[in-house]
Structure 1
């Protein structure tokens, strides 16, 4: 423990030794016309030449980054009828949703790896550690300025839990200038209502602010699925000098989402007559409360040295009380309703990240280096009615289900309390080897210590898990607008979420992943178009497998993923714009055993659950003068399996969405969003092999935007 205390002290010293990184220079923007006015400021489209934090802390553009990245702007989110952040992210290459109520409806799949343990979500560059597979913030796109996606292993940037991808949600920031306000009123299908406000600007010469508030509610397309949410984001920026600034920000989310846990299959088939039936109990509870407070300091120490610090505090409270499983009993011709679960999460996290950026010379070559440290302390408490050993449940008529009430012989009580300390040192470097060739490298060392208390029997276990990752990539600029890259990177995941490892899981090492990736990126037609292509090979080792003799878990399994991803952005002229992408992945277990009913089962060669082979997205936009624009797009997701045995398959789907906008006055815009235009029945995710979560039927949502 003394070593851990020294690491803690070093983190604290670095946190207060210097404030933070200065404002980064603006890059070029893609010269694509925009007719939609959906923000309080003039929007800039992020293109391949725009510096972002998507794939590096070095503020490189996509053309300079040896990785597959995507940036999604607030304007694109609004235009494409995306109701959630996950909707927006899954329009980028190779990302699909595997969201269910149990994981907060926020889990994603990328490059053959699924869930919050392998696809990480950040907010403003910082990580909320996921407990028990659940993350409930952020989910409201109204507060979002941009979403950056880096695909493939990224533990060298953000630590364990980032083998598939990292999603960085960047909130709207204060800006200098005249105060501008944006008010939105919306109404749509199933009595969906929205009231949103976005306000920002300068309060004085050196003080600026940004406030967003969004309230939504609706009745839901499934019986008894009312929902409501309130999201708040507020930030105040003080420019103490031209070289030093401070930003205090606070975000809050309160949500009571739909209590829909899926539609059961009857004899293995989906019945359309059950599509809108709700089998959950009458006194269900789903309630999420999240708060995120940050203090950022940006400081330019000299022409060649800048510093950045972010101190943050995160709090999450979650409560579920539901009957979650509905199974068809052909003998009784009724559904057995079971899995009466009540779970409460109480999570707090305090952390600090300090980094320094140096522009310098290395062996006579132009070079840029970022070094830094990060510390987190996470307290995670779970109350539940575990051990969930109620036998059976009650039977309901599938076509006329009685709501009933929560029933369990197990009392909800405090179960576990864990405290996790994490400390990391990291560094990145970009060196210009020649006029056209650059080397981008990174290294990170993590120290994690977990203390877990079982509150039911007053026992305690603890474990230290160390991790180290690195990345090396070469980028060759064939021209100023065409780059070819190759990279090798490593990554680590926990066998489950780090802060909620069970007593048996806590003894295992972190899993290990290695990726080789090659890619091509190009801007063409004088910035009117761009395309990217990436090919990758990932090997993940130390998966948990069953010993065929003792049936105990061992870390001997392996999974591989091979894939291709392509994306195209194109301005065709005459106010026509096209955005398209597609991906193909071949993911399989090379070595994986699991015990079913006491007998070992070999899953080698099987595809992991919730991983489609092919995905594609298309969005076509057309402007009509300066006042009207329209868009239509499709989302395609291939067939998936619902289990590791590949015994249950989930059908693929293609869904078409559309939007229409009319700038009736300089400050007033009318909008109409149409989702699932052709009213397709489709499965978003599988709660189990015999219970599917369906997508919403055709719906509309009309908006009025007023800027003043």
Structure 2
């Protein structure tokens, strides 16, 4: 409650002295949801005291006539007070288990004696985010830059968004990102499509590559950054249409105590813990861990996964920061490739559709389609700021992956959709072992020449990836590579033997990459900024086919420029143009595509032109818009009149528009979402597609909007709408997947300052739809109405 302290001598109270002498209130360690409207400061402090359950003390005369913009969101007590008092001339200091609010000293005579400072190094919420809004970006430029000053389309999923939508994987993440769509990934890996370009390798952790094919989790993630367009200058090879960068949680100086237990439809069970503790003033530790076991709406499909991620942060001096961490993550699940199509006629557009079967029907053998991945990683960050303004930073990541998947699946169209119809099945398994080592060292400094400000970033990156791939083909009854089953009963128990066929992979590859890069962020005028960057990568791949002893070698020099120009008619508004290049070497996303016929070919090139605008309507509400054209060249195509020979052509073009809105419409109403228009087509006949074909799995229109409204500090509701127009399952454009509109909902209940409950419901209307595809005969039906109930304790 509010307590007015009218005590003799209070006017001479020295806030900095109190801050140094008193211990921080225990209520500061956990985040609390606040809903305080703008208005008189006295009323706002009273509401703050009630919602935080702490004492707030002040002299009434100090706050008389002062107004506040209010407070909306989840903050620690100290951070919430700082935001509530911002710009008011007041400040708060811990005292006697609560806080004292008083005017800031203004005259030199009022300044107190300087005591030993207390350094606050990390708040409960990362300074780069504010509710649903990301304020700054580090990955896009590797410097601390406001998002509105980055000449690129970027969507950031903050921890509040991840929490409110109960996001747990990459499919959940991209569902609400304009211009990015999930793909099926054969039921064993994350696959996303950026502006018409599919990738399984453009995934990063804290800016370092994490490219093995597996399903990632978000239990240890602070936020997810989706950067669209060609990203070769910052991220090196790949990044053709975009990248996804996960920013991990790290140990800080605000204690963290959270346990989350979740239960849901189809026996979904999940528990996660997040525990952090400072160790005096120079060190902190944090532990994130998770375990999940769930069944599925798909017959015979289940999943088990878990992870543990300890981190340690050490600050030997105020200018030096060292972070080390390690993770073990495992995932065990059934490879589910969905259902086949029906009625396709080769070369006839729109001749096919998804087979008419119940969404739970599994084609093949679920019990004999296991997948597993074990991933170990060690990560470090060392950063030091010198007195002359130069900062040096090194990030290093070592990761070891062991990935296996096996599947028995539909490999052809259904001949009929009844008991007399049949479906062809096939089977294979694949083993991948990979060791990744990546280390980046950046040098950052600022200077001013002839009135022009420069912020330089230069660095070097070294990467080494050692991969082994082994594939077996499945033989039904040890005889045939295919089997036919009834469409009416498409599960098979036919014995399958797995052994190598004449073309199955058995290879060993070593890739060494050395990249050097430089970037200058220039302030030409107060209203005009430029971002100029260039990177050169020497990509060297050595490949051995263990089956026949063949050796392949490819060495590519990849020159990736970026030129961005920003005009700021007002400080919160920016209008930008951007040009960038990226490359995908012939070794491919997974470094296994090098052959005798393609080793000498130039890498595929991706050129992105983008014009956009960003407007921070308020510090907690941001509107973005972008127009782009993404050209893919050096695509392999057959020589006209001589199909035995190939050539390289400019084979694909994507044009589109994207609009995004994130933040708070009112203190009670948070929103995120956007609209994307994508026109992606094959411009020249290439291997597997005719000129004029629509790029696979790219809908023309997507709309996604999520809303959360807090009726009181203790009750909130969420509603989401996802719309996707129709799209083709593959490049031959024979199977059209219909569009759909899906509704999601949520309820948020805070029981007390320690305990809250959250319920999420997906597909409220229980519609039938196709969630994703891999090809014409691997179509994954969307889930029915499902719920997840979570109980979260912060203590």
* TM-score normalised by structure 1 residue count: 0.89
The structure-2 alpha-carbon separation of the partners of 1:46 and 1:545, relative to structure 1 and needing over 3 Å to count, comes to farther
Map of 1:587 onto structure 2: 680
Compare 186-195 and 405-414 and name the one that shifted more.
405-414
CA distance in 2, matches of 1:528, 1:385: 53
Per the TM alignment, residue 51 of structure 1 is displaced from its structure 2 partner at its CA by 2.4
Is the Cα–Cα contact under 8 Å of residues 552 and 594 in structure 2 kept in the other structure? Answer: no
Per the TM alignment, residue 299 of structure 1 is displaced from its structure 2 partner at its CA by 0.7
Decide which of 166, 172, 193 is 1:81's aligned counterpart.
Answer: 166
Decide which of 748, 755, 760 is 1:668's aligned counterpart.
Answer: 755
Asked if residue 41 in structure 1 is aligned to residue 124 in structure 2, the reply is yes
Map of 1:487 onto structure 2: 578
The structure-2 alpha-carbon separation of the partners of 1:203 and 1:242, relative to structure 1 and needing over 3 Å to count, comes to same
Alignment of 1:275-674 (within 5 A): 275-281=359-365, 282-327=367-412, 328-330=414-416, 333-385=420-472, 391-404=480-493, 407-408=496-497, 410-411=499-500, 415-495=506-586, 496-497=588-589, 499-503=591-595, 504-524=597-617, 526-548=618-640, 549-569=642-662, 571-573=664-666, 575-594=668-687, 603-674=690-761
CA distance in 1, matches of 2:757, 2:184: 31
Alignment of 1:60-209 (within 5 A): 60-101=145-186, 104-116=188-200, 120-130=202-212, 135-136=213-214, 139-177=216-254, 179-209=255-285
CA distance in 2, matches of 1:316, 1:49: 32
Per the TM alignment, residue 689 of structure 1 is displaced from its structure 2 partner at its CA by 1.3
Per-residue CA shift, 1:169-194, capped at 9, x if unaligned?
A: 011111113x3210011111111101
Per-residue CA shift, 1:183-229, capped at 9, x if unaligned?
A: 01111111110111111120232110121111111121111112110
The structure-2 alpha-carbon separation of the partners of 1:35 and 1:657, relative to structure 1 and needing over 3 Å to count, comes to farther
CA distance in 2, matches of 1:82, 1:47: 14
Is the Cα–Cα contact under 8 Å of residues 48 and 62 in structure 1 kept in the other structure? Answer: no
CA distance in 1, matches of 2:574, 2:134: 11
Is the Cα–Cα contact under 8 Å of residues 473 and 481 in structure 2 kept in the other structure? Answer: no
CA distance in 2, matches of 1:491, 1:285: 35
Per the TM alignment, residue 90 of structure 1 is displaced from its structure 2 partner at its CA by 2.8
Per the TM alignment, residue 576 of structure 1 is displaced from its structure 2 partner at its CA by 2.0
Aligned Cα root-mean-square deviation (Å): 2.5
Per the TM alignment, residue 434 of structure 1 is displaced from its structure 2 partner at its CA by 0.8
Per the TM alignment, residue 561 of structure 1 is displaced from its structure 2 partner at its CA by 1.3
CA distance in 2, matches of 1:570, 1:214: 29
CA distance in 1, matches of 2:535, 2:71: 38
CA distance in 2, matches of 1:572, 1:329: 53
Secondary structure, aligned partner of 1:678: coil
Per-residue CA shift, 1:655-676, capped at 9, x if unaligned?
A: 1111111110110011111011
Is the Cα–Cα contact under 8 Å of residues 277 and 399 in structure 1 kept in the other structure? Answer: no
Map of 2:33 onto structure 1: none
Per the TM alignment, residue 32 of structure 1 is displaced from its structure 2 partner at its CA by 7.4
Map of 1:51 onto structure 2: 136
The structure-2 alpha-carbon separation of the partners of 1:270 and 1:435, relative to structure 1 and needing over 3 Å to count, comes to closer
Secondary structure, aligned partner of 2:138: coil
The structure-2 alpha-carbon separation of the partners of 1:266 and 1:585, relative to structure 1 and needing over 3 Å to count, comes to closer
Asked if residue 257 in structure 1 is aligned to residue 333 in structure 2, the reply is yes
Per the TM alignment, residue 409 of structure 1 is displaced from its structure 2 partner at its CA by 6.3
Is the Cα–Cα contact under 8 Å of residues 232 and 240 in structure 2 kept in the other structure? Answer: yes
Decide which of 303, 312, 319 is 1:243's aligned counterpart.
Answer: 319
| Structure 1: runs of 5 or more not aligned | 1-29, 596-601
Per the TM alignment, residue 402 of structure 1 is displaced from its structure 2 partner at its CA by 4.1
The number of aligned residues is 662
Secondary structure, aligned partner of 2:496: coil
Larger radius of gyration: 2
Asked if residue 210 in structure 1 is aligned to residue 286 in structure 2, the reply is yes
Is the Cα–Cα contact under 8 Å of residues 75 and 124 in structure 2 kept in the other structure? Answer: no
CA distance in 2, matches of 1:387, 1:395: 14
Secondary structure, aligned partner of 1:505: coil
Is the Cα–Cα contact under 8 Å of residues 545 and 557 in structure 1 kept in the other structure? Answer: no
CA distance in 1, matches of 2:353, 2:580: 43
Secondary structure, aligned partner of 1:33: strand
Per the TM alignment, residue 408 of structure 1 is displaced from its structure 2 partner at its CA by 3.8
Asked if residue 222 in structure 1 is aligned to residue 311 in structure 2, the reply is no
CA distance in 2, matches of 1:547, 1:106: 34
The structure-2 alpha-carbon separation of the partners of 1:377 and 1:214, relative to structure 1 and needing over 3 Å to count, comes to same
| Structure 2: runs of 5 or more not aligned | 1-68, 77-121, 344-351
Per the TM alignment, residue 506 of structure 1 is displaced from its structure 2 partner at its CA by 2.5
Secondary structure, aligned partner of 1:78: helix
* TM-score normalised by structure 2 residue count: 0.79
Secondary structure, aligned partner of 1:197: strand
Secondary structure, aligned partner of 2:634: strand
